[in-house]
Chain A
Amino acid sequence: MKVGQLSLDEFHALLIGQGLRVKMGPFNLSVQTRLPLLIRQLHQMYSHYSLAEEDEIVEFHVRVIPKHSIRQPLARLIRFEVDGRSPFPPVPVEQALATLEWGVNLVIAMRINHLLLFHSATVERNGHVLLLPAWPGSGKTTLSAMLMHRGYRLFSDEFGLMAPETGDFFPLPRLMPLKNQSIEIIRHYLPEAVLGPEIPGTLKGTVAHIRPPQASIERADEAAQPRWIVFPKWVAGAALRLESLPQSEAFLLLATNAFNYEVLGEAAFDAVTRLVRGCECRKLVYSDFDSALVALDELTDG
């Protein structure tokens, strides 16, 4: 059963009741909230997700609830809670969706260690995974939004989830927060993309979420092996360059950016070594999305 098959009333009843239990990639998530605004937004943005199987454990239990502040009695604030605790301070009610999505990512990053968590956009083409690791100015969310609307299967714009023993990558298609100028860029390039409300004033500026395509969510159980690692960098006015990157540098960048490289110890050292040795490593400098897409298509054609 898909969220989209529920009427708004049924959906509402779950969120204010025992919780909306949805499947997100390898995890199940339970969400509770009474905020009418957030309920309406989620009904649209979560429509492609399946409800969790009846007899399955849900890993993460989160809530978004109103918060009354002594210092700002008139402000309409909300609080994100996981298992009854708030990992960060309250925010204005308008930021509920962004806070929920951010909070769930945080919980995954804090609690999951049976998988190696790279900080990377991850997409699949021709049966193999292309990693686009985050480094400053990478524009990975924008780039992965483009790719997923041009025939690539979205795994995640934020996490590369890898089983350290097998090297398999797992999809975790979640809402993707576009920031500031990239919102307009995506509206222009991808008029077909479904975007959530523009949320101004967050820690990262104005944010609007893009909903992953139905096909990416429906195939979220299909893992794949990695083949390409491309470090993207958006530079205004730069001519397109797709150059090979020394493997040692790829190792360094991947390991230092991973969420739990240190925690996994030797297993992570082995896993990253095997990953980098088995992949083609590139550096992509671009200013124009069309030519970047052409270059990535060529790389992943074979």
Chain B
Amino acid sequence: MNSWYSSRFSLLRIESWESEFTVFQPESEKTHFLNEMGLQILVMLDQSPTSLEVLCRKLSEYFTLQPDAQFLRQVAQILQRYEALGLIERVKESE
């Protein structure tokens, strides 16, 4: 099973604008625009490698949401996107 980890989180420059965030990623020199959930995903993945299911549970607790299949799919898509952008890494765990 896959886990994700934002190992370079401490390098990011984060500016907060009320409920939105501009995030500068020094390695790619790209500026990302994130909402609160987008940023919270990075924050949660910074603490330790986390699987999709655990991440979704933590997110729904944090934002007091009802997690459903669609939410899981959306978060999975965001993780893929973040991985392609180099914001997070996939950690392959041998069972």
**B73 touches A (CB below 8 Å):** no
**B18 touches A (CB below 8 Å):** yes
**A251 touches B (CB below 8 Å):** yes
A269 touches B18 (CB 8 A): no
**B57 touches A (CB below 8 Å):** no
B24 touches A251 (CB 8 A): no
B20 touches A248 (CB 8 A): yes
CA distance in complex: A266, B15 (Å): 13
A246 touches B31 (CB 8 A): no
B17 touches A269 (CB 8 A): no
Nearest-Cβ distance from residue B51 to partner chain A, whole angstroms: 31
B29 touches A248 (CB 8 A): no
A248 touches B22 (CB 8 A): yes
In the complex, what residues of A have CB within 8 A of residue B20's CB?
246, 248
In the complex, what residues of B have CB within 8 A of residue A262's CB?
29
B24 touches A269 (CB 8 A): yes
A247 touches B26 (CB 8 A): no
B contact residues, range: 10 to 19
| In the complex, residue of chain A having the shortest beta-carbon distance to the beta carbon of B35 | A248
Given the interface pairs A266-B24, A269-B24, the reply to whether A247 lies near B17 with Cβ below 8 Å is yes
In the complex, what residues of B have CB within 8 A of residue A252's CB?
33
Q: Interface readout for B46-84 with A: 1 if CB under 8 Å, 0 if not?
A: 000000000000000000000000000000000000000
Nearest-Cβ distance from residue A202 to partner chain B, whole angstroms: 34
A266 touches B26 (CB 8 A): yes
Given the interface pairs A262-B29, A266-B13, the reply to whether A248 lies near B18 with Cβ below 8 Å is yes
Which residues in window 5-60 of B have CB below 8 A to A?
A: 13, 15, 17-18, 20, 22, 24, 26, 29, 31, 33
In the complex, what residues of A have CB within 8 A of residue B17's CB?
246-248, 251
**A180 touches B (CB below 8 Å):** no
**A300 touches B (CB below 8 Å):** no
Q: Interface readout for A264-291 with B: 1 if CB under 8 Å, 0 if not?
A: 0110010001000000000000000000
Given the interface pairs A255-B31, A269-B13, A269-B31, the reply to whether A246 lies near B18 with Cβ below 8 Å is yes
| In the complex, residue of chain A having the shortest beta-carbon distance to the beta carbon of B30 | A262
CA distance in complex: A247, B16 (Å): 10
Can you report 15 residue pairs joining A to B where beta carbons are below 8 Å apart?
A246-B18, A247-B17, A248-B17, A248-B20, A248-B33, A251-B17, A252-B33, A261-B31, A265-B29, A266-B13, A266-B24, A266-B29, A269-B13, A269-B31, A273-B15
The 9 closest A-B pairs by CB, nearest first: A248-B17, A248-B20, A265-B29, A269-B24, A247-B17, A273-B15, A269-B31, A251-B22, A252-B33
**Extra pairs beyond A248-B33, A273-B15 (7, CB < 8 Å):** A246-B17, A247-B18, A248-B17, A251-B17, A251-B22, A255-B31, A266-B29
